[in-house]
Structure 1
Amino acid sequence: MSHIEYEKRSIPMDSLHLHMANVFDELTEICQNAESAVGEILHHPNKTTDQSLIALQGLDRLRQSLEDMSRLSNFLSKQQNINVPIASIRKQIVLTGLFTRLIDKPENKRVSIASEYDELWEGNLFPE
């Protein structure tokens, strides 16, 4: 899609928020894979696999995506329109793949609800 076509199109705010939720769900998967890789490397340093190293490389994508999503969230907090111009979204997002997922992603993915997660906090988080 050309820059001129972006200038003409907009996306409903509710659809954009749904797409953002899907992206955040994808980012949690990257984080989970990196956590597993770190655990594998710490517990079995002599048996580090290529999969573990690939999973750790996902941290860069995670960081860049979170930066983009933070800029977009900041921008959206100032919007009062029901429809958001796609050109404005493009100005907030550096990663091309992320931009495409935000404006073109189908809306049928189910994002996990909070009660489906285990709380794994151990020890005193706030030592005196």
Structure 2
Amino acid sequence: MTSLKVAETLKELRHHRGFTQKQLSEQLHISRQAYSNYENGTRLPDLETACVIADYFQISLDQLVRVGLHPEKPADPFASLPKDMQDFLSDYHCLPDEKQKRVQSYTQFLRDR
């Protein structure tokens, strides 16, 4: 999975700069074949090469390897709940801490009955 994020990120960065694989590999001082393997996801760059690539594009290693240039929003943990429950939880999270504690106490009271 990581190699796919590296490949996707490298391809996007290269296209954004308007380079061919050959031009970019020359800029990075690596062979075109090695760069092509990174971009196709068949190989991962070693740490030193990954650092060179990240420095060249002025991105973090995390962006290059894990999250990419456009991190996805985390999945909504409440998405599978019924709409009324989603609304309740949304309202609950908007309450001040003291009122959330009162709701929790009342829920506990109802459960214990």
TM-score, normalization: structure 2? 0.25
Larger strand percent: 1
Q: TM-score, normalised by structure 1?
A: 0.22
